[in-house]
Each structure stands twice: as C-alpha cells, then as structure tokens.
Structure 1
Amino acid sequence: MLSSFHFTYPFFLLLLPLFALSALLFKREKESFYMPHFLQLFSHVKKRHYVREILKWFMLTCMTVALSDPVVVKKIKALKSNAVDIVLALDTSGSMSTYGFNAKNYKQSRLDVVKEVVQSFIDMRKRDRIGLVIFGTTAAVASPLSFDKEAQKNIVGKIEVGVLGKSTALIDAVVSAAELLRNSKSKSKIIILLSDGEDSASKIPLAFALKLAKKYGIIIYTITIDKSYSNMMKVIANKNGAQNFEVQNKKDLLKVYKRIDMLQKSELEYNTLDVEEHIYFYFLLLSLLCAILLLPHVKNKGVL
C-alpha cells in the first residue's frame, strides 16, 4: 500500500530548469542555406529531429530524477503477539489409575481423562509456547517449550500411569517446570500443576520451589483432583498470586482449564511499519535505454 513518495536529494531536480535554460540561451550556430521548398522533399528529417529531442530530454530528466533518489514509502501492518509461556505439570503417580472420574465413561482412569482435557487445552493456546513436565516418584521434562502443538498432543497421548514411579514428587515437579521457564522472555510465565495426591517423594523443600518461582516471575495455578487434606496445593497457588482449583470429575476439570484459558490470554498488537523502497534504478535504466536509442543520431550528426 503506497502511502507517500519523496526524494532523498530533491535539490538535484534544479538541474532540469538549468538544462532547459541552457538549451534556450546557448544554441549552436550553424551555417544554413535557404532553398525554397527543399525541405518538403525530406519531411522525414523533421520527424527524426523531434524523436531525437524527445529522447534527449527524456534521458536528461530520468538521469536527474535518479540523482534525486526517489523513494516510495509503504505502510505495512505488522502483527505482534505477546505470547504466554505455559508449562503443564501432570501427575502420573499410581493413584491416577483410579476409575470413576468420568461419569459418562466409568472405565476411564483419571489420567486418561486428564490427557483428553489437556490435549483440548493445548489446541486452545495456538499462539503460545507450551512445555510438559510429568512426575511420579521423580519429575522429568516430557517436552521443552514449543509451538508444535501436534507433537505435544502426541506426547500427552502416550503418557502412562506409573511411568516415573508410583509416588508423588509434587515439589520436584514445580522446580522442573520453573527451570523450563527461567530463560523465557515472555511477559507471562505460568505453570499449571495437576495432582491427585500428597507430596510423598520430593527431595527439594517447598520454600525453595516458591522462591524460584518468585525469582522468575512465574504464576502457578494448581488443580487438585478429588479432595486433598493437605494445604500444599493451596499454598503453592496463593504464594504466587494464582488460584487453587478442586475438581471432582471431568466436567469440573474442563471448566477449570477453560477458566485458566480466559485468565491468561495472549495479547495481540498491531504495529505499522514504514518500508522504504529506493527506485532510482528504474530511472537509470530508462535513461540508459534512451542513450542507446540516441547512438545512431550521435554517430551520424556528431552532436545531440
């Protein structure tokens, strides 16, 4: 979209009236012989003279415009997305094999339901980077922060109960998730920690995990499946300015992830960029073409 046009060196355009003035004031004197009606026999000579003059002035004009460096400025809309970096920390301990979490499919385990809901949540976050941490007796990174949603959904689909042991290293999972986010440049960094049990295997103290999250500006949402008699999940969420959610079934879990999705929206900004295109080359090309066309005249007449 063309928005403006200007010359970088417009003072070179003053050469044009100077050329015109010189052509008027300093004409070359030639010997002439008057013969009545002689030129009527050579009407094509006049035509050639006009063509030569047009080519000459067009060449000079193009050269002068090229010297002035004409610039076309185009305005381009650029979309800037302030994406959110999210780490999903999922419990894979033995208790996640419990049935009855989905009222419509009693034979689905808690982890199977969680995988379905998490995959739909990943689809919702199209502009964000997402990382995956799973934990049982130990915690491990299943996927670094990435925009590849299909790969992440495939990883989630292959998670199995007990893959990292049957115990629950809740705090270790928080630390692993925080480490994924430590080098993030995003304005919003969040961890969504999901578990159905007490911490029974962590080697890192809670105070350290909370301090680490605060240091890197990380918000931690916690989702507790079934009722927990421990306040640890609430403490983790409240100390980082977030919220703890307790869910009893798949319906509740869907609502929670939709709620978090609404709370942590990616911001879109539209910036206008001015892109300059220097087009002097085209005028130089036209000038060169005119010069080539004038060569026969120079050869025959000796002057322009």
Structure 2
Amino acid sequence: MRFSYPLNFLLLIPAAGIFYLIIILKRGKTGFPLSSIPVKPEKLNYLMFFKYLFLFLVLFLLIIGSTSPMVPISKVPIEEKGHAFVFCLDISSTMKALDFAPQDRFFKAKETIKEFIDNRKMNFYGLVIFAKYSLPIVPLTFDNNFLIQKLESIQIGDIEDGTAIGNAIINAVELLKYFKGESKNIILITDGINNDGYIDPIFAVQVAKNYGMKVYPIAIGSDSPVNFPFVDSKGLSYTKKIKISVDIALLRQIAQIGGDGKVYTATNSREFDSIFKEIEKQNPIELNIKSYITYKSIDHLFYVLSVLTFIIFLFLELFSIEVEY
C-alpha cells in the first residue's frame, strides 16, 4: 500500500491528544442520577470510554482516508519481453457437447484459459474466436483483466456456425507478428473439421512459422458419442448422444509444420489441464521484465467506514444519556 499524502498522518498526533484529554477530564464524572437509582460509576466510565473511542476511530478513519491510500492492482511491463500467447477459440455449436459434464466444452475451454492467464500474469495475451469466420476480439495486450472480461462475454452463436481454422490462425498471426519478446505462440482450441473460411489452414500455419511462431493445436472432446443438448418443438430441453468428428490428421499437420509435432487431445478435465501445464513448461516464465505497478485508490472505503463508526458513536451517545438520566 502507498499513500498520496503521507504527511496527513501527522494529524493523528493532535487527534490522539484530544482523545486522551477527554478521557482524563471525563474520568469520575457520573452524571446526576435520581436518588432512588444507585450510582454505578464503573459502568458509566466504561461506556464513556468506548463512546469516545468510537469518536476517535471516526477521526482516525477520516485522516487515513485523507492520505489517499492506494493498493497495487497489476504490473505493467515497459518493454516487450517474455512470451506472447494468442488463443484461437472455436465457438461453433458443437462446443456445446457435454464431455466435461456438468460443463460443456466451451465453458471448460474458457475456464482453462482463465486459469492459464492467472498462473502467468507477466505475459502478453490476445484472443481470436472463430466459427464460420474468425474475429480478433482482443489485440495483444498485457491487460489480463480486460481479456478475461471479453472472454467471459463470448457466447456460442456470436458467429454463424462453421469452422474456419485457417482464418483463425491468420488472425492470430496478425496479432503476434510485431511482438519482440522471447516467443510467439498460438493456442488453437477446436473440436471440428475445417469446413469454412477462405484461407487454407496449412498455408496459414506456414505463415505463422515464417514469423517464428509456434502453434499448439488442441482437439477438445471425445471421439466417442457424447451427450449433446437439444431443444424440441415445444421448447423442452433434452440430451442425446451424438458423434462429433474432429480432423486429427489436419491438426497433426499443423503441429508438424508450426508446432512441436504433437497433437494435444483433451477428452476430460485432467487431460485439458495437463496440456496447458505442458505448454507452460515449454515457455518458462520470464522474470526479468522491467515493469511498473499500477495502483487503485481506496480512500472511499475509509470514508464509508468512518460514517458507519460515527453511527455507532451516536447509538452509544443515546444509550449513555438513558443510563445517566
């Protein structure tokens, strides 16, 4: 935590002095109870002490707030070092398959991407989605929170159905080609067959390779029949097992040309998580990156607490009047 106006802490000295003087002056003062009511100075003194203690806390919180306290929220690099990753995420309708029940493929892919980003905050990230065509949603950025927000907002159906793998890879290349860090990586997550788009996936991955990029193709989902959600004519939901084909041969070519020669297949949560851990091992985190820390002011929290504390003081004040009289 840091403070914009640390000299305001000096105001705590007179505030503490005033509190001390009030306690000294009020010591022994018990009020004027009726003759039929016994005087209990100890209880009144304790009540008086806590009452003025809360008043002091009000001043304390106001003074802390006036220093404009700030907490760190993120590190922002001032140089392009480390690793860059662009996620190419398939959002075609087949991603609704329930291989990862109760989650579907799409939900599991988004959760795994978010976990990967959380584990590697000092990297640059971008996001491309694709179905019938592809769209670059987030350009290469260090703002992880922004990318995660955009990722969470994406839904199946945002793009007309289809699978344009080549277009997605080319969009990723455009986001990565000017990056000057340690490595440029494309993580392709799909569960289908390339059947749309005007760019051949093999041509696209060759372009990526020419720019020094590595492509990690991930086939998500089982090749066996899986539960898939449907809605009948009456609007009722039901599931039915169907077989969804994925072009492993194409993904293998992509891996051999522009990747590490391996096609990654994720048929369950454990396999999906282990794939991303393997990608992490191949791209160890770069620690020596010059960066600055961004801060967020939290002075409003202290002002809100001071108001709540003052309300407690008022209740104690009313209670002390009732006891004394």
- Mapping 1:1-304, distance limit 5 Å: 82-99=81-98, 101-102=99-100, 106-225=101-220, 226-227=222-223, 228-242=246-260, 243-269=262-288
Alpha-carbon contact 1:94-1:165 (below 8 Å) kept:
no
Q: Secondary structure at the match of 2:159?
A: coil
TM-score, normalisation: structure 2: 0.55
Determine the structure 1 residue equivalent to 2:35. none
Cα distance, 1:269 vs. partner?
A: 4.0
Return structure 1 stretches of 4+ with deviation > 4 angstroms.
none
Cα distance, 1:80 vs. partner?
A: 8.2
Extract unaligned runs of 5+ from structure 2: 1-77, 224-245, 291-325
User: Which whole-Å CA distance do the structure 1 matches of 2:265 and 2:110 have between them?
Assistant: 17
Relative to structure 1, is the Cα distance of residues 156 and 80 closer, same or farther in structure 2, using a 3 angstrom cutoff?
closer
Relative to structure 1, is the Cα distance of residues 84 and 200 closer, same or farther in structure 2, using a 3 angstrom cutoff?
same
Cα distance, 1:220 vs. partner?
A: 0.4
Identity of aligned residues (%): 31
User: Which whole-Å CA distance do the structure 2 matches of 1:123 and 1:241 have between them?
Assistant: 24
Extract unaligned runs of 5+ from structure 1: 1-78, 272-304
User: Which whole-Å CA distance do the structure 2 matches of 1:93 and 1:224 have between them?
Assistant: 14
Determine the structure 2 residue equivalent to 1:22. none
Cα distance, 1:219 vs. partner?
A: 0.3
Relative to structure 1, is the Cα distance of residues 262 and 163 closer, same or farther in structure 2, using a 3 angstrom cutoff?
same
Deviations 1:260-301 (CA, angstroms, capped at 9, x unpaired):
112111333499xxxxxxxxxxxxxxxxxxxxxxxxxxxxxx
2:90 maps to a residue whose letter is D
1:145 maps to a residue whose letter is L
Alpha-carbon contact 1:135-1:164 (below 8 Å) kept:
yes
TM-score, normalisation: structure 1: 0.59
Determine the structure 2 residue equivalent to 1:285. none
Q: Determine which structure has more spread, i.e. the larger CA radius of gyration.
A: 1
Alpha-carbon contact 1:80-1:268 (below 8 Å) kept:
no
Cα distance, 1:144 vs. partner?
A: 0.6
Relative to structure 1, is the Cα distance of residues 230 and 270 closer, same or farther in structure 2, using a 3 angstrom cutoff?
closer
Alpha-carbon contact 1:190-1:221 (below 8 Å) kept:
yes
Residue correspondences, number: 189
